[in-house]
Every structure is written in structure tokens, then in C-alpha cells.
Amino acid sequence: MEHTLSPIGVVVVSYNTAPLLRRCLASLQACTLPLRIVVVDNGSRDESVALVRREFPAVTVRERPDNPGYAAACNEGIGLLAETCGAILVLNPDTEVLPGAIEAMAAFLAAHPRVGVAGPRLLNPDGTLQRAAFRFPDLITTALDLFPPGEVLPGRLYDSWWHGRYPAELGTEPFPIDYPLGACMLVRSSTIAEVGGMDEGYFMYCEEIDWCRRIKQAGWAIWQVPAARVIHVGGAATGQFRWRMQVALWRARARYMDKFASPAMQRAYRLLVAVGMIRLMGKAWLGYLSGQRDRDTLRSHMLAYSLILGETGRFAPIPVAKVTR
């Protein structure tokens, strides 16, 4: 079946995710639209590259010797596709695209010329809803991340508008959003041509938030299309604490605030993060003293929180480089 945006480009960034990558690429075969798929591998040490070349010969593989980060790898894939494809599907390797999902998002973009990005409804592997539509971060959403509803604040705030959620996500009709979870998003190529690619200053996390902020600033709309359904393993993964990922997350959040928030909001954000990290340090020690955490777990938590406190607890913004276009 042809489409006004055909062919659709697909960019998948892989990093040591061979089993998940196989399922992701296999799920794309059900799409009835012409696809041009690029896998950008960020220096994987597993069989990801060999697997793609062996089992998916129609897929283009860009093999990098290093890991420049998710945004840089996405931009490389987008650069190969944007001039020949009407829209680009940015897709995580831990996703499975259900039949009809790409078609639904592409049809929505085709029917709404000023919509620059369409996101799907994400599902956990057990079929339950995974939140995938959000408001842009602000001080309130940051406070609710640092002082979680149900733990510190009232639990009813977790899925509320105050926490960046949309009640409309529980329905079945398309609705406008600030940004979708970056695990799966279909972006119009003309939007990319106008706004540019992702900011490569983000190594991981927040790059899709930054991108969508710039897209909306340029006058494009962003919608979720619930008829498009995609399974995302990431939201159902085990909650093992990885200190490097925590540091990367809060470093990215600080970069975002330094780019888009006022100086007063930047200072308030850093103070809020500092208080939040001190609280988490105390919580980690209480867990250790009560026997709920071992020494290694305590060490990883304290390392992460102290590094975050040292970086985002400063009261001067981190210099932000120009956006890569």
C-alpha cells in the first residue's frame, strides 16, 4: 500500500541489544508501507551487527567503533533517510511494533499537515498501558520526581496533570501532547528539515524532549495516536540501580533546563535537585542501616547522588553548545 509519506524511514540505534533488536526488526515486517530501515550500532560487543546482516539483509547497518551517544547515532541514521523518506520513525530496539501502528501514525500525519510528530500508545509486555505522553518538564514535575507520589506526596498525584501526564491517554482518540516517550516517534521529514536533528550534547535521556520543544517552538503540533500500538520492554525492565544512568539522566535534565528555563527557574531547579539528592542520600543510609540494602548498593547510590549533587547542585548553568543541525 502506497502512502503520501512513503517511503517511511526507520532509525534504530543499537548497543548490545541483539535479542531485543531481532524482535524489533522482525515486527517491522508486518508493515504494509514501504520502509527503509537503518540500524546504527554504537560499538556493540555482542552479535548485534552480525545478526542484522545475517537475518535482515535489506536493513542498512552503520557500524560505529565507539559510542557517541543516542542523539548522535540517531542523527546519523536520520541523515541517511530524511531526503528520500516522507517521515522518519525513531525506534528503540526494545520495542515491538504491532501491525497497523506505523500505518496509523503515517495516516494521521498525512491528514494533518501541521502535525510534525506522532507518537503511539505504548504497552508493557503484559499488555498494560505504559505512559508515553507527557508535558514538558517544569519545577512541579521535577519535585514530583524527587519526592515521589505515594512515597512522600499523595499517591493520586502520580498519574496527574501535575506530574506531566495526560488523562486523555486513557481514552481512544488522538490528542495533542508536548512530547511522546522517545522509544517510538514518527517525525515528518519536512519538520526535521526546518528544525534540525537532535541535540548531540545529550548523551542519553531528554534528547526527545529537547527536540520536541524546538519542534513546537517552530509552530508544529505533536499528537499521540492511540490506534498505533507498540510494545516497549523498557518500562517493564527490572529496577536494578545503575549509578551511571542516574547521573546521565540528571545531567541531561540540567542541560534541558539550562537551554529552555529562565535564570530564576534554573536557580530554583538546582536548589530543588540539591534538596532532593540530600533526601535520597538519607534514604540510602536508612536502607543500609535497616538491612534493606547491602554495602555495595549503598556505595552505588551514594556515588550517584553525590555526583548529581556536585553537578546539578551548582547555582550556575552548565554551558550549552549550539544544536547540531
| In contact, 63 and 86? CB cutoff 8 Å | no
Which residues 6+ apart lie within 8 Å of 226 measured at CB?
A: 120, 121, 169, 171, 172, 173, 174
Question: What is the full DSSP assignment across 178-220?
Answer: SEE-TTEEEEEHHHHHHH-S--TT-SSSSHHHHHHHHHHHTT-
Tens digit of pLDDT for each residue in 52-84? Answer: 999 999 999 999 988 889 999 999 999 999 999
DSSP one-letter code for 147 = S
**What's the confidence (pLDDT) of residue 283?**
93
- Cα separations in angstroms, 103 against 80, 87, 100, 126, 228: 22, 12, 5, 23, 8
Nearest to 105 by CA among 232, 11, 221, 225: 225
**What's the confidence (pLDDT) of residue 234?**
82
| In contact, 14 and 42? CB cutoff 8 Å | yes
| In contact, 212 and 223? CB cutoff 8 Å | no
Q: Which residues of the chain have pLDDT under 70?
A: 1-3, 152-158, 162, 235-241, 313-325
**What's the confidence (pLDDT) of residue 33?**
96
Pairing outcome for strands 133-134 and 179-180: antiparallel
The CA distance from 259 to 248, in Å, is: 17
pTM: 0.90
| In contact, 142 and 273? CB cutoff 8 Å | yes
DSSP one-letter code for 162 = G
**What's the confidence (pLDDT) of residue 320?**
44
The CA distance from 80 to 33, in Å, is: 19
The CA distance from 322 to 3, in Å, is: 35
Residue carrying C-alpha cell 540539591: 274
**What's the confidence (pLDDT) of residue 158?**
67
